[in-house]
Amino acid sequence: MTQPIQPTQPTQPTQPTQPSRPERGAPLPELKGYVHVYSGKVRELYAPIDSSTGQASKDALLLVATDRISAYDHILGSEIPDKGKVLTQLSLWWFDQLVDIIPNQVISADAPEVPEAVAGRAVLVRRLEMVPVECIGRAYLTGSGLTEYGQSSSVCGVQLPAGLQDGSLLPSPIFTPTTKAPIGRHDEPMTYAEVEAKVGAPLAASLRDLTIAILLRGNEIAAGRGILLADTKVEFGLDAARPDAQGNPTIVLADEVLTPDSSRFWPAASWQPGRAQDSFDKQFVRDWLTSPASGWDRSSGEPPPALPGEIIEATRSKYIEAFESLTGRTFA
């Protein structure tokens, strides 16, 4: 799962300082009316320039998905054509599938708000006060959850039955929040009590219940398409400008949702607990990088080599297949 950056503080005006430039991939587009504020691993953040003040807006952000791809904790030197568009369109589709569960951040995904240079892969969103917890829901056990389980037979303080294996279906879905680590560092598991201490008991309960509801809805929809949703990371923001009936800020679904970068999708047909599952989207990349053909040693700390054209093309097809199977729509 892609770990996002520390969010910029929404209460302070964004400083248009020199953001860290991605050292790999296509150059950053200059977008008229926007200032670039942050480079994530595979995405870019811009702020609209307020026409009355000439300053970065405090009310909105432009989230731009690039074609960059990560594997084994590296950003690869090769891009996957259309990955940014596929993931953006998938995220938008999921926001719609979830709107009876939670409102979302989207203002516009179309012209004129979204500049032509990033058409299809950018969304103008409400700038929210981001909740400082990575909300992870797990339906199946793998990855860091499996590692923690091996050490303690629990994940983030949730006790699990003995005998679970890599890929096992959990008895019921679990909420396994993590801290938001600074970029380049790994997020740390939090217990539910730590989430309560950080955000208060009422918001903690809402984050947990919303995360599980999103995971369950995601699995209901994916199941009908032969796909399992093992786990997902969601981010929430608070919209103080939209108080609820009790006067609390509205909890809003932020960032990206249920994309292959924030979630693990597995082909249901080859699911088999007891071994690492095939990745829906990145399996060709992983297989090639760890094969003798790549000449790359995963443990060397060296950046991985550029991908062969056929691996790029096969991976592009997998992203499009994921979009088309999940949504039942044709990728334009």
Distance CA 194, CA 146 (A): 21
Strands (E), the chain: 34-39, 43-48, 60-65, 70-71, 74-75, 106-108, 122-126, 129-130, 135-140, 154-155, 158-159, 169-175, 227-243, 249-254, 263-267
- Which of residues 45 and 227 has its CB atom nearest to ligand Q0Z in the complex? 45
In the complex, the smallest distance separating the C-beta of residue 215 from ligand Q0Z, rounded to whole angstroms, is: 19
In the complex, the smallest distance separating the C-beta of residue 7 from ligand Q0Z, rounded to whole angstroms, is: 3
Whether the CB-CB separation of 104 and 239 falls below 8 Å is answered with no
Which residue stretches of 99-200 are H helix?
143-152, 192-199
Q: Quick check: 145 binds ligand Q0Z (CB under 6 A)?
A: no
Q: Quick check: 63 binds ligand Q0Z (CB under 6 A)?
A: yes
Residue from 1, 22, 44, 210 touching ligand Q0Z (CB under 6 A): that is 44
Residue from 1, 80, 130, 251 touching ligand Q0Z (CB under 6 A): that is 130
Q: Quick check: 10 binds ligand Q0Z (CB under 6 A)?
A: yes
Instruction: Tell me, residue by residue from 167 to 196, as one string, x for binding to ligand Q0Z by CB under 6 A and - for no binding.
Output: ------------------------------
Q: Which residue is nearest to ligand Q0Z (CB)?
A: 40
Q: Quick check: 5 binds ligand Q0Z (CB under 6 A)?
A: yes
Q: 283 φ, ψ to 5°?
A: -60, -40
- Which of residues 80 and 128 has its CB atom nearest to ligand Q0Z in the complex? 128
The token duo for 280 is 């829906």
Segment contacting ligand Q0Z by CB under 6 A, of 32-40, 263-271, 301-309, 310-318: 32-40
In the complex, the smallest distance separating the C-beta of residue 292 from ligand Q0Z, rounded to whole angstroms, is: 35
Window 291 to 320, contacts with ligand Q0Z (CB under 6 A)? none
Distance CA 11, CA 210 (A): 25
Distance CA 290, CA 134 (A): 30
- Which of residues 166 and 255 has its CB atom nearest to ligand Q0Z in the complex? 255
In the complex, the smallest distance separating the C-beta of residue 19 from ligand Q0Z, rounded to whole angstroms, is: 9
Helix axes 201-223, 83-98, angle to 10 degrees: 110
Window 232 to 291, contacts with ligand Q0Z (CB under 6 A)? 237, 254-255
Per-residue exposure over 75-104, b if at least 16 CB sit within 10 Å of its own CB, e if not: bbebbbebbbbbbbbbbbbbbebbeeebbb
Q: What is the dihedral of CA 316, 320, 323, 325, to 10 degrees?
A: -120
Binding site for ligand Q0Z (CB under 6 A): 4-5, 7, 10, 38-40, 43-45, 61, 63, 105, 125-128, 130, 237, 254-255
